[in-house]
């Protein structure tokens, strides 16, 4: 009530003047009538039956309006979130097409394989969102279709640098975690904790910021997503909610460390079996090092073989199996390269019970995946 301007203005009015306002409801706004009745109630003045009826009617109208406004805000928030979800789906579909284009263009290069693939995908995805959501592109194609814009707190398009920081905060952690996993980085559970905190943080801030549905990258860069026909002025975010997230993050990281220590202790017996198999494999490799090296050189010399992706020894029930995985040049995918590999293998004195030649070509990017595999078994 104290935010009602009439409440402050009417403090100096006499009781008779305030009563006159209530007696003429058609001449005054609802705020004025509510303010007058509140001041008279504070002054312990008795109301007539007509005045009570007028006040009750006005209060009912105000409550109905407040209820309608609250429902309208909730509907707008839900509708905006739905539109943002659809816009993201459209943008990811476009990025998937772009990823396939670059993937097939670079299919015979190391750029579409770990650890380089996450870097390539990061450049494509981060570049798209940074440029299109800045003052250069105004908005992404998905946001344009759904009538959304990304603005700063001055309701202006983001500068390129601000847009880059915004999307780096949102997108980069995903790829950093992916690269560290490829590198087998041992963080004793801290990395997993940070990864889960990152995912939880995205959702947590959007849920707790009921008015603008901002996440951490919005709050840090002072930006938000808005419909075209809506202007926002309240950009405050509760410090209590921020502190609550700190406790959540601490709990997630602590739990990840505890689970990591527990899983390491349970994996001790499995490690013994694995080390036994590894020693057997190493013995085979040591006994046939020069033969395998010569075989690799000859296989690489086959026209149409772009790369040897792997040579694996497997001992199953006392049977020694050799897998040779080759990646053909795209133009030679249909050529019978397996038999040529087998002929080279036969010329070597390798004691192997079964040979499996795997011809594989494909790409495995963040938003694009394609694999074509052909397997031939040669029993000795």
Q: What's the length of the chain? A: 380
Q: Under a CB-based contact definition with an 8 Å cutoff, are residues 344 and 326 in contact?
A: no
Give residue-wise pLDDT tens across range 169-214.
888 888 888 877 777 666 667 777 888 888 888 888 888 887 778 8
Strand partners, 358: 325, 375
* pLDDT tens digits, one per residue of 318-341: 788 888 888 887 666 666 788 888
* Banded model confidence at residue 98, pLDDT cuts 50, 70, 90: very high
Question: Domain map of the chain by residue range?
Answer: 5-69, 73-266, 271-379
Q: Which residue is listed with tokens 């910021």?
A: 209
Strand pairing report for 369-379 and 148-152: unpaired
β 305-316/223-227 pair status: unpaired
Query: What's the Cα-to-Cα distance from 297 to each of 294, 321, 344, rounded to whole Å?
Result: 5, 21, 10
Which is higher by pLDDT, 357 or 30?
357
Using pLDDT thresholds of 50, 70 and 90, give the confidence band for residue 271: very low
213-240 confidence digits (pLDDT tens)? 888 888 888 888 877 666 556 677 778 8
pLDDT given at position 272: 45
Looking at domain 271-379, what is its CATH homologous superfamily? Answer: Cation efflux protein, cytoplasmic domain (3.30.70.1350)
How far apart are the C-alpha atoms of 80 and 78, rounded to whole Å? 5
Q: What is the pLDDT of residue 185?
A: 61
Q: Which residues lie closer than 8 Å to 33 by C-beta, 6 or more apart?
A: 21, 22, 25, 54, 55, 58
pLDDT at 123: 92
């Amino acid at each position: 009530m104290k935010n009602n301007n009439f409440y402050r203005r009417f403090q100096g009015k006499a009781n008779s003047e305030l009563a006159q306002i209530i007696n003429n409801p058609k001449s005054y706004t609802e705020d004025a009538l509510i303010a007058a009745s509140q001041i008279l109630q504070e002054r312990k003045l008795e109301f007539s039956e007509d005045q009570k009826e007028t006040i009750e009617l006005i209060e009912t109208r105000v409550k109905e309006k407040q209820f309608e406004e609250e429902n309208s805000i909730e509907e707008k928030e839900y509708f905006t979130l739905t539109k943002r979800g659809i816009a993201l789906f459209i943008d990811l579909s476009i990025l998937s097409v772009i990823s396939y284009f670059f993937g097939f263009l670079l299919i015979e290069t190391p750029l579409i394989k770990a650890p380089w693939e996450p870097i390539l995908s990061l450049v494509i995805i981060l570049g798209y969102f940074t440029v299109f959501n800045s003052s250069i592109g105004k908005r992404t194609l998905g946001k344009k279709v759904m009538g959304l814009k990304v603005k700063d707190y001055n309701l202006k398009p983001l500068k390129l640098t601000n847009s880059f920081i915004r999307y780096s905060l949102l997108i980069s952690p995903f790829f950093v975690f992916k690269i560290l996993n490829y590198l087998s980085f041992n963080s004793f559970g801290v990395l997993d904790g940070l990864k889960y905190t990152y995912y939880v943080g995205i959702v947590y801030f959007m849920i707790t910021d009921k008015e603008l549905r901002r996440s951490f990258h919005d709050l840090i860069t002072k930006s938000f997503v808005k419909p075209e026909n809506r202007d926002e002025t309240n950009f405050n975010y509760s410090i209590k909610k921020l502190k609550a997230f700190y406790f959540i993050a601490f709990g997630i990281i602590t739990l990840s460390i505890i689970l990591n220590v527990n899983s390491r202790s349970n994996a001790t017996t499995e490690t013994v079996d694995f080390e036994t198999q590894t020693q057997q494999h190493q013995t085979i490799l040591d006994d046939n090092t020069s033969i395998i090296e010569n075989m690799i050189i000859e296989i690489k010399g086959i026209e149409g073989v772009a790369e040897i992706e792997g040579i694996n020894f497997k001992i199953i029930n006392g049977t020694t199996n050799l897998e040779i995985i080759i990646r053909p040049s795209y133009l030679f995918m249909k050529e019978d390269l397996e038999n040529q590999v087998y002929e080279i293998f036969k010329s070597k004195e390798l004691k192997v019970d079964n040979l499996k030649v795997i011809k594989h070509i494909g790409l495995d990017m963040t938003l694009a995946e394609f694999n074509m595999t052909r397997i031939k078994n040669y029993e000795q």
